[in-house]
Amino acid sequence: MARTLSEKDVEMLKKLAPECEDVICAGSGANYRSILPPVSNHYATSDEDFEVRLNRLDYDEMKYLSEVIFDGSESLLCVREEHVEILVRLMANKYSKEVANTIKTVYENAGFCDY
């Protein structure tokens, strides 16, 4: 399920990728419909960089991210596998181990990215 990024989504995307241009982050340029895939594939320069970026999110933002993953509106499909592992570890540390395990399962059942 694709979504149009909400104001909150755009704020989180800009927090994760401050170099993102306003027009692209707002969706009118690249039409981002998820937060994590563009960060994983376009902005993070390494696994370590992806982790640094995710560490910018606070408890409430991690909670929100888990909610949109679970309702299917945030796609993990094209997020790099090693970045999902980082997400799962940070989610367990910052928010909930149970949620982290469920996110891992969601990713494992998502299929393959065809980009």
Examine residue 2 and state whether it is found in any structural domain, yes or no.
no
Is the per-residue pLDDT at 6 higher than 60? Answer: yes
Average pLDDT over residues 72-80: 90
* Percent of the chain at pLDDT exceeding 70: 85
- Spacing of C-alpha 57 from chain mean position: 11
Instruction: Name, in order, each residue with C-beta under 8 angstroms of 91's C-beta and a sequence gap of 6 or more.
Output: 62, 65, 66, 99, 100, 103
Alpha-carbon distance 107 to 17, whole Å? 22
Domain annotation covers residue 89: yes
**Confidence label for 46 from pLDDT (cuts 50, 70 and 90):** very high
Q: Is residue 21 assigned to a domain? A: yes
Residue 75 lies in a domain: yes
- 1 lies in some domain: no
Let me know if residue 115 belongs to a domain: no
In total, how many domains does the chain have?
1
CA 6 distance to own-chain centroid: 14
Q: 114 in a domain, yes or no?
A: no
Range of the domain at 40: 7-108
Average pLDDT, stretch 4-21?
87
Asked if residue 3 has pLDDT above 80, the reply is no
